[in-house]
Amino acid sequence: MMPPLDAAPAGPAGSLDDSAVPQAADPTSAPMLPTLPQVQALGHGVVDWGIVAVFGIVYLGMFLGGLPRLKLDRSGVALLGAIAVIAVTGMTVEQAARAVDLPTIVLLFAFMVVSAQMRLGGFYRAVTHRVGELPLSPAGLLAALIGVAGALSAVFSNDVICLAMAPVVVRLTLARGLNPVPFLIGLACAANIGSALTLIGNPQNMLIGSVMLLPFAGYTWHALVPVVLGLALLWLWLVFGPGARGLGAASAAAAHPVPEHEPRFDAFQTVKGLAVAITLMGVFLFTDMPRDVAALVGAGVLLLSRRLHSADVMGFVDWQLLLLFIGLFVVNHAFETTGLAAQALAWLGQQGVNVSDAGPLLVLGVLLSNVVSNVPAVMLMLPHLQGDRAGMTLALVSTFAGNLLLVGSIANLIVADLARRSGVVIDWRTHAATGVPVTLLTLAVAWGWLALQP
């Protein structure tokens, strides 16, 4: 373990009894300057306040998506923040590495490989085309897309589903003479809602499940009702809500959708990927095998291929997201050593507020998820939660909260960016017309469901 930041440095080896021997004072020596930890301000040393400064800058970067006048995204800010706290605290690289929750990183990486296999096999593109070819009314087509996006996101990650399905949805809706905007917003919101169903549906759920050791089957059962009702409410709002847009009015600005770049359907690669994914779900649901180990074995099986080069698969791994997690693990660990978070929680406890309770957890989860994004928000809150119920609540709340604003979820931004390339504009107002009421409705459902649980 890393020694306390305020601990006095140990003497050289073999001098344990030197303190008992009187030392003659040297009248010519200048007074020694205090070491940094000995300089106190408001009960904390300079090192502590240096960590707080780095922590504040890092989370400002999470809020802004980078830092002003610097070519940094969130991952770059987190990495530099980790480097800064290592320099400020004097911790070794090994100590910084121990701050990283390796099972979470391994689980994320493994499912990125599984998702890459499905994408390279053309599975997502084929499923979306098959849904679009069904003889359905516009409302029926929207319901089918919401259902498919929600179900796939529960297993293969919401961001990947949006990345693969959004261009196909634009082409299919325009070919039918339909307005693509409600379908695209429905895709993004359904992917977010559906990903809350399991502990592998999105990065923050993987983190919560790994750190808090939540039972996979127990969580899925716990989340089933809020997720299903949430998807139904999303469809009802888009079709019948006061902010609903006409599903049959195609936008003239979107007359030239970009060509699809998704791989064509490969039955063998798709079956191989599905076999691994289904096997992993069975392992998670019915065994106690560590999820990170099982997922890593599954990823290894997929990398053994004579047709898909490992470099192609690795090209679909989101290395920047992994780097974001690693950097934030180190920064948050350093902040925990200052004791400021514990002091803040103690003060809240004196005021009768327990962050593990459903009410405060819901409010904090929604606010932080839309201020600094859901993954950093979850990392901030996790060390202070107790019990499976609090972990399950945070997983639902932080995921549902991603629909509130356009910037609340990477999935939303992916869909908006791909839509813009096709000439379809989804700005923050357009998204908020659906995102805000749907988020409030789904959070109300989650709140009610949680209240009914023993």
Reported as a single tens digit per residue, the pLDDT across 38-95 is: 455 556 678 888 999 999 999 899 888 889 999 999 899 999 999 999 999 999 999 9
| pLDDT confidence of residue 245 | 57
Share of the chain above pLDDT 70, in %: 86
Res 25 pLDDT > 70 = no
* 14 burial type by CB count under 10 A (0-12 exposed, 13-18 middle, 19+ buried): exposed
Region 21-39 average pLDDT: 44
Region 120-129 average pLDDT: 90
| pLDDT confidence of residue 256 | 57
Query: What contacts 215, CB < 8 A, 6 or more positions away?
Result: 388
Rounded Cα gap, residues 8 and 394, in angstroms: 39
- Which two tokens mark 60? 């400002």
| pLDDT confidence of residue 29 | 44
Res 393 pLDDT > 50 = yes
| pLDDT confidence of residue 20 | 41
Which pLDDT band holds residue 421 (cuts at 50, 70, 90)?
Answer: confident
Rounded Cα gap, residues 391 and 12, in angstroms: 46
| pLDDT confidence of residue 183 | 94
Q: Is 326 helix (H, G, I), strand (E, B) or coil?
A: helix
Res 1 pLDDT > 60 = no
Res 316 pLDDT > 60 = yes
Amino acid at the residue 48? D
| pLDDT confidence of residue 422 | 82
Q: Is 41 helix (H, G, I), strand (E, B) or coil?
A: strand
Cβ(142)–Cβ(235) below 8 Å: yes
Res 125 pLDDT > 90 = no
- Which two tokens mark 410? 């990477």
Cβ(406)–Cβ(431) below 8 Å: yes
| Alpha helices, DSSP H, located in 44-73 | 46-64
Element of type H or E holding 333:
helix 319-337
- b/e sequence 216-229, b meaning 16+ C-beta within 10 Å: beebbebbeebbbb
Res 137 pLDDT > 70 = yes
Within 10 Å of residue 133's Cβ, how many Cβ atoms?
A: 9
| pLDDT confidence of residue 307 | 87
Per-residue model confidence as pLDDT tens digits over 251-306: 544 445 556 666 788 899 999 999 999 999 999 999 989 999 999 999 999 999 98
Res 451 pLDDT > 90 = no
Query: What contacts 172, CB < 8 A, 6 or more positions away?
Result: 128, 129, 132
More confident residue, 263 or 250: 263
| Residues β-bridged to residue 44 | 41
Which pLDDT band holds residue 242 (cuts at 50, 70, 90)?
Answer: confident
The DSSP line for 362-395 is HHHHHHHHHHT-HHHHHHHHGGG--SHHHHHHHH
Mean pLDDT, the chain, integer = 85
Rounded Cα gap, residues 201 and 157, in angstroms: 5
- Among 403, 400, 405, which Cα is nearest to 429's? 405
Which pLDDT band holds residue 9 (cuts at 50, 70, 90)?
Answer: very low
| pLDDT confidence of residue 189 | 96
- Which two tokens mark 394? 């945070």
Rounded Cα gap, residues 160 and 152, in angstroms: 10
| pTM for this model (two decimals) | 0.81
| pLDDT confidence of residue 244 | 62
Rounded Cα gap, residues 51 and 9, in angstroms: 19
| pLDDT confidence of residue 144 | 96
Amino acid at the residue 421? R
| pLDDT confidence of residue 107 | 93
Note the Cα 369 to chain centre separation in Å: 10
More confident residue, 170 or 42: 170
